[in-house]
Amino acid sequence: MAGGKMKKDKQKGPRAPSNHYQGGVTFHKSKGQHILKNPMLVDAIVQKAGIKPTDTILEIGPGTGNLTKKLLETGKMVIAVELDPRMVLELQRRFQGTPFSNRLKVIQGDVLKTDLPYFDICVANIPYQISSPLTFKLLFHQPAFRCAIIMFQREFAMRLVAQPGDNLYCRLSVNTQFYARVFHLLKVGKNNFRPPPKVDSSVVRIEPRKPRPEVNHKEWDGFIRICFIRKNKTLGSIFKQKNVLSLLEKNYKTLQALQGSQNVSLSGNDDMEIARLGDESMEMEYGMDDDMDMECDEAEGEGEVSEFKNKVISVLKEGKFEEQRASKLSQESFLTLLSMFNKAGIHFS
């Protein structure tokens, strides 16, 4: 029968390729290569970026240049950072001999390991596995840029903008919003990409705070890391843990010894080598930002340990933080508590 024959012929035919193409370039999902194919969405991203004709634009992960073309039409210059040499070649071919060729600079390399030049605006459709380290690399970039428009996995994006009390509010939320204002712009369905990813995405606008908050960022990160060991536990419970008290007491004694012998002040000292809780950097992936797997036994015993424990708890009680939970505290509250600890000689970096 015709139907059976057609089915048989179809089975014998060549199997459809699993990779997707554009301009002869194969895209690999395993490398996070998902090219934005919806022209209306590309226009919307450029429009929301608020690009000026005098702007230098940093584009991360340009792929084959669909978004790059719109950026070149709008700004003064585009600096594109691309890891895949095949994409770099395709990008150069696409704009070679066009009026845009002199206004496009392509840097081949890993953006996390590349010294970024000056730019006014960053626009990026990035592999989702570098979301956290890239975000913090941009936040600490100098000189500060005006804004970044970045496509993230949707859950990561919602963590960036989460507020105290939200289910997704975590250490990532606090750290990002401490250094920048963050806005959710667009939800982007997976079918807007070629090949489509497994999850939906969101476009987020990040505006670095100017001036940058005057705080030792290692101190701040160490403090926030401890507060979010168990974000729904009370701070009183967290700061009574043996490992937390041991860490803080070690820092306390180290600084007392240094200040006694050298009259050293900790304020703003990024070079001080002091113990930290764990060895993960601020740029660790968001999936481990809160509810970290730590020992939860409270401190026991007498003598100096008990005396130091009382010192820590007295700070929490004085500020009425003992029964508060990190999941519901604002940045202003975290800053207040950190300042109180520091005045008592207790440091986190």
Both 197 and 60 in a single domain? yes
Residue with tokens 């600490």: 140
**pLDDT tens-place string over residues 129-171:** 899 999 999 999 999 999 999 999 999 999 999 999 999 999 9
The verdict on whether residue 36 carries a ligand-binding annotation is: yes
* H-run or E-run covering 342: helix 331-343
Residues 153 and 131 sit within 8 Å (Cβ to Cβ): yes
Looking up residue 325, the CATH number of its domain turns out to be 1.10.8.480
* H-run or E-run covering 69: helix 66-74
Both 235 and 189 in a single domain? no
The verdict on whether residue 287 carries a ligand-binding annotation is: no
Tell me how far the alpha carbon of residue 214 is from its chain's centroid: 20
DSSP assignment, residue 82? Answer: E
Both 193 and 220 in a single domain? no
* pLDDT for residue 330: 96
Both 219 and 204 in a single domain? no
| The total number of structural domains that make up the chain | 2
The verdict on whether residue 104 carries a ligand-binding annotation is: no
The verdict on whether residue 58 carries a ligand-binding annotation is: no
Residues 71 and 51 sit within 8 Å (Cβ to Cβ): yes
Paired with 26 in beta bridges are 21
**Dihedral (CA of 161, 164, 165, 167) sign:** positive
Burial 267-289 (b: 16+ CB within 10 A, else e): eeeeebebebbeeeebbbebeeb
Angle, alpha carbons 25-30-33 (nearest 5°) = 45
What is the spatial distance between Cα 133 and Cα 225, in angstroms, rounded to a whole number?
Answer: 16
**pLDDT tens-place string over residues 323-333:** 999 999 999 99
User: How far, in Å, are 55, 111, 270, 317 from residue 59 at the CA level?
Assistant: 12, 10, 31, 48
Both 62 and 171 in a single domain? yes
User: How far, in Å, are 38, 61, 95, 123, 267 from residue 92 at the CA level?
Assistant: 22, 14, 6, 19, 48
66-74 vs 39-49: helix axis angle to the nearest 10?
A: 40
Query: What residues make up the domain containing 229?
Result: 215-259+303-348
Both 88 and 235 in a single domain? no
Per-residue pLDDT of the chain (349 residues; tens, 9 = 90+): 444 444 444 444 444 444 444 445 565 444 445 677 788 999 999 999 999 999 999 999 998 898 999 999 999 999 999 999 999 999 999 999 999 999 999 999 999 999 999 999 999 988 888 999 999 999 999 999 999 999 999 999 999 999 999 999 999 999 999 999 999 999 999 888 878 888 899 999 999 999 989 899 999 999 999 999 999 999 999 999 999 999 999 999 998 888 776 554 544 444 444 444 443 343 344 444 455 544 445 544 444 558 999 999 999 999 999 999 999 999 999 999 999 999 999 999 7
The verdict on whether residue 82 carries a ligand-binding annotation is: yes
* pLDDT for residue 72: 97
User: In sequence order, what DSSP letters do the residues of 11-67 get, joined into one string?
Assistant: HHSPPPPSSEEETTEEE-GGGT--EE--HHHHHHHHHHHT--TT-EEEEE--TTSHH
Both 173 and 242 in a single domain? no
Both 204 and 233 in a single domain? no
Both 245 and 139 in a single domain? no
Residues 185 and 203 sit within 8 Å (Cβ to Cβ): yes
What does residue 150 show for φ and ψ, rounded to 5 degrees? -130, 140
The verdict on whether residue 125 carries a ligand-binding annotation is: yes
* pLDDT for residue 292: 52
Both 138 and 48 in a single domain? yes
Both 51 and 196 in a single domain? yes
* pLDDT for residue 244: 95
